[in-house]
Amino acid sequence: SASPETVLAQLNALAADSEITGLLLVADSFVVHCLEGTHSKVMTYLTQLQPICSRWPGLPSTHPLLFLEAR
């Protein structure tokens, strides 16, 4: 499984590519992620993030909130 530092580096690289800013908090295997940017850029970012994410258990599939699985 990936370390929190590795996950953080992946998030930072994707955010820079998508021209969005935000706050990342890494705690154990969980990442809390607050984003700032235009709707289209944030959605592009989330789309790029999707392959390394899973939806929070219990949320509908259309909900934008994701959680990262450290791999």
Report pLDDT digits (tens) over 22-71.
776 666 666 666 778 888 887 787 777 766 666 556 666 666 555 544 43
Nearest CA to 45 among 17, 7, 10?
17
d(CA 61, CA 71): 22
Kindly list the domain boundaries of the chain, sorted by start residue. 4-64
Q: How many helices (H) and strands (E) does the chain have?
A: 2, 4
Q: Which helix (H) or strand (E) holds 67?
A: strand 66-68
Chain position carrying tokens 């908090």 = 25
Q: Give this prediction's pTM.
A: 0.50
